Structure 1
Amino acid sequence: MNKTKTLLATTILATSFSTAAYSQNINVGISGAFGKMDAEGTETNVTAKAKKSGDANFPFASIFAEYNLVVDKSLTMVLGLDYVPLSTEIEDTSRADTNLGGGGAGSGSNPTTTSTKKAKLELENHATLYLQPTYSLGGGLSVFGKVGYSHADLQVTSNNAATGSTLNKKDDLEGYLVGVGVQKNIDKSTFVRFEANYTDYDTVTYTNSNGTRFTADPKLYAAKISVGKSF
């Protein structure tokens, strides 16, 4: 429902201008970005509830297409869609935990034990619909703000050798994006952009095979460079 409302509001805003009165064109391009995913949440089992936090850094690439409505010589309203065509690995970790018994390794009934915990997070089909008001400063230089809505498929897999617990879950990851940036026209039809974006995703919840419940509130910070062509 939230996604539908956002798409509807964006579309109404973008089409509220009379297309007969303004010039229009289309942009297409590619982007490279570096993201930092922060997540705070809780881990709950039958005996305890613990708060946890973490972050992961990862690169990703995307393609985009945009419809431009030139309101006047200074202001252009841009309606765009950005899509990450490849599966993006957010995190892939493997950690060995060692529990030293009272008597040390191999000492009777309380020996040293070592277990391995593994976890992997992947994003697929990440798409963002956005509205980008762009203001020209002259000389081919522009600044812009951005608001949008993102949706992706999130794949989470994990296992703990000590407890025998596993998790294999695919879910939707949705959230709102805001950003700012600068654009420089290289010539009449080619441009380059630099931007910073922040996406606040909805809370996600998973339960592994041992009944432990994980709840996380992910946020994505991304720095992006793009090259595009206008038609």
Structure 2
Amino acid sequence: MPDRARVLIVDDREENLIALEAILSSLDVFLIRAHSGEEALKALLNTEFALILLDVRMPGMDGFETAAHIKRRERTRDIPIIFLTVSDGEPDYAFRGYAAGAVDYLTKPFDPWVLRAKVAVFIDLYEKTRKLTVQAEMLRDRVTTELTGEAAEEVSMTTVLVELSDRLTAVEKEVSRVRDLTLNGHDRALSLPVADLCARVARLRAGFDALHVEPPR
């Protein structure tokens, strides 16, 4: 597991990549560049990313086509995408961006603070989800090692699910805190990504609740 979350920044113009790196330099993330849609797809083959910042206007494979390929791949379909484009783009660019699977859409020149805030929200959730996954694997290994016999598998899975549910509760509280901060700050720019995070966590909770997990006895 990498020490820092990775963010893929995709733009065919070098000066735009430099600007993104400068804006995001204060965040504890590892930025990886791609100068085209094709280069981005290659980077996604063997590297795990927390977020993709994707320029819409690029020669050859544009941002919409690149996003379509990303969302068709099982390994990458759940990576959040924020589209970036110039303010004089086509009026339907925002609609096309969301239809292609983007969680947000920013026009250039954008407010550096807004971009950092949006990226920070997604990185925070990614880190919590990653930690939850690692802790679940460690817990499963520990319980499996300690238990023997036919009941081991059943008790192990039940214990793991209960622990995961507790961890998910902590994530729910954190997402709720971020949502309240957004509403209290009247920051409409963050409303969509925060709503997306809430929906993802709600789906996770619904999955746990559907299992009717009972604490081990």
Q: What range describes the TM-score normalised by the shorter chain of this pair?
A: under 0.3
Q: Which gives a bigger RCO, structure 1 or 2 (Cα 8 Å, sep 6+)?
A: 1
**TM, length-normalised to structure 2:** 0.24
Structure with the largest fraction of helix: 2
Higher Rg: 1
